[in-house]
Structure 1
Amino acid sequence: MKNNFNIYLIFIGLFAFACSSEKNDKNNTPPDSLAGLGTDSVGKNQEVFEPMRFFVYADTIDWRKFDTQVTNTYRKQITEKLKVNFDSLAYYDDNESYREKKFKDCFHFMDLNADGKLDVIYGGFSGSEPDLVKIFLHKENQFVPVFEGYQELSALVFDANKKLTSFILLDFGCCAEYIEYETKYNVGDDFNITLNYQRARMVRTQAPKTIWSTPIKFMTLNDGYALRSEPMKEDTATYIYDAVGEGNTVTKYPKNAKGLAWAEYKDKSNRVWWFVEMYPADNLKKNLIHRRDSLVAPRALGWMSSRFLQKQP
């Protein structure tokens, strides 16, 4: 009887282990051969990575989650006050000639710094091709402009005290732009806005099917190592007008350039490609990802063959 009971306990233990393993396999972690690489041990020195997501148009903010409803009279009053901060074309004919959304409806009211006063975020027509984001703080019966950026907001993050701590802008370009940007800003206690990071990729960059929750740190082993918009080697086709006949290469990195791998893809020849985030580097052999509005050099997103990438602790 005792032996039967021991066998029963062993069976239960194996069943629990199997269930736990199945759960871990579904957790978007790197494959077994890569698991644990690129992360420090748990503790106060653990490295924290900014979560990766392949940003798309659908990521633009849902204002309904943040808007405080105000009367039409108040909205019109504030809109008239703030017109001086905009190109006249942004509100000409109340914007009807240029956008479906009227100028006054592009203003969103919410308390951004937990002082009990409604501040304003404008998200709409700039008066020229790109859309515009402006933030105004309500101070001493005035709305003071504290930030201006282009295109679309995708996230507003508030802390437990209901103060804005960060926000993200997405810029999918206008005119003939072929680089797309995701830019995150931090907001300090005094509402000092600073750049956290900027990620950029070439248009038509292939999205990975899944993204690991923890990336792999690596460095390049060869000079002139190519970052590509797709997990395939193509060196003769024309993808953009600035690189006629140059294929899908976005940037060529020097030896020892550092980056993070967030996903992988195995092609028909069994070559393993990594979807990577490359840190800015000097002495680039080629680079199509330019700086946006004189900000720091962005982290470039794309695909690299993992063959000559060395994993780092």
Structure 2
Amino acid sequence: MADISLQRRAPTKPIPKISWLMFLEMYGARMHYEEILEQANICIRSQLVYSSTSSRIEGQSTQQEPGFSAERNINNAPGFPYPRAFLDALRGYNLPYPEHVQQNIIQVPVGARMPDNHDIRGPLVSTTDELGAGLSTNCFGMTFNSTVVSEYHLQPIYLVIGIFPRGHVNPQEKVVYVQDPKEFLSQLRWGCDLEKGTHESVDLDRDGVADLVLLLDAYTHWNNSDITALIWADWIHQVLNNSSHDIRKGSYSLELVLGWSAKRISIVVMLPVLLSLAVGIWLNSSNWYDLDTVQTAWGTASYIATAGGLTAALLGILSSIADR
């Protein structure tokens, strides 16, 4: 039997329109600030912020001097709400700001804003890591030398990450700004369509899957060198973000796949057992031959071990529920 398609997709959760209003009025002076944040669709790249500022000063007229008034109004063009720290990092690397940067977020220097286009990357950096060792005597010598030359573009980057709640087709997205590219490593899975507000699964070829395996392997390492993080950050900037710091021009988002860590579960299960042994030996050490002391020590230890068993059972139940 052929698959049946429903007439329309399930409704999405309404997106609120958030506004902030602040005003101050005293002694003939009035200040007014308003900011509106809205999102056109479920794709976080469709966020826009509007802001306006106005101020007015009035002076009362007297018999000696006439009254006066001065007014100033600023209406900023709508744009994506970039944080100040991210824009400061772009300026630190002499990179152009994204289009429609909000004037109220940062004061843009004259000539600093340039038209955003593709393939805008930070300065090219080349580093050389050398490792050498040697042994020599009067009649014998041996040396070893290893040289690694790495090239990458140094720049701040952004990440669009998403988590799919159970039963939801679209993820809950969040933009993470990385001012220092050394702190970047994550995993790619989904693409985002800004115009339609939809998320489509990306079917990668064999090479793309292999690249993501390498990225995941680097992410799961306990200790990564700064060079490894910088090289992957440059790759992400080109592949995910279209070599652009404008979020609205990015292509892909990252899906966070949450799961159980076997190492951490093993630690949680083994810790009460080891703790019970340590407590039992410590309590019993006061008198190794007294029967009451032995019973008290290892009775207390058994309570701790039982609590650890209950914890392991609870983890098993949660794991079975999560796999459904």
If the TM-score is normalised by the length of the shorter chain, which range does it land in? under 0.3
Q: Which has the higher helix share?
A: 2
Task: Give the TM-score normalised by the residue count of structure 2.
Answer: 0.26
Task: Give the TM-score normalised by the residue count of structure 1.
Answer: 0.26
